[in-house]
Amino acid sequence: MMNRAAKADRIGKILDDLYPTQPIPLDHKDPYTLLVAVMLSAQTTDKKVNEVTPRLFSRADNPQKMSELEISEIHQIIREIGLAPTKAKNLQKMALQILQGGGEVIPDWEFLESLAGVGHKTASVVMSQSFGIPAFAVDTHIHRLASRWGLSTGKNVETTEKDLKKVFPKDTWIRRHLQIIFFGREHCPARNHNLSECLICGWASTKKRIREESIN
């Protein structure tokens, strides 16, 4: 049976072959607009976020302008997005916090994770995509695939992140995050997926897992 490191190596080669470049799926122009877009993407599709952010960024594409908008104005612009009332409050509060901290989004874990509405996953995306600092943001999709492929038995995203960081070399973390998301969307959906015919699940998943998820 293949160990996790060997499995990750083979998976990495497949992902590099399929996705030699990894465009960031959320439209943005700088660390602040990426931070806003990632925060908005929780429980919402990237497609929906990209439909809403042009209108938002035309009104407020920096913390100063965002802090000057009323929460009701922000809510009106982002209303089609999941959890819009909470996100509108967080966007205004986050803008004020950034201004208090010097006005810039900086590559500092403690600073980013202290911002309203920003958790470890959002901070990881900004650290890696905006600043090139190795991080491995794990969302529910990556968590699901890591489990399917036997790279983690983690019951939560925190454990899965630790497991993936152990098996993938640090200099691949940034691209692996996006590649696994792309693979999940295009080849490895959550439901009605025949694991035995999947390019990765077909050999990486256990027979038990393939059986459990088999389509009857």
Phi, psi of 42 (to 5 degrees): -60, 125
Cα Rg of the chain (Å, integer): 19
Q: Is the dihedral of CA 60, 61, 63, 65 positive or negative?
A: negative
In terms of residues, how long is the chain?
216
Phi, psi of 134 (to 5 degrees): -55, 120
Three-class SS state of 22: coil
Residues annotated as catalytic (active site), given as ranges: 121, 139
Rounded CA-CA distance 189/168 in Å is 22
Q: What is the DSSP string of 40-78?
A: HTTTS-HHHHHHHHHHHHHH-SSHHHHHHS-HHHHHHHH
94: nearest Cα among 85, 84, 81, 103: 103
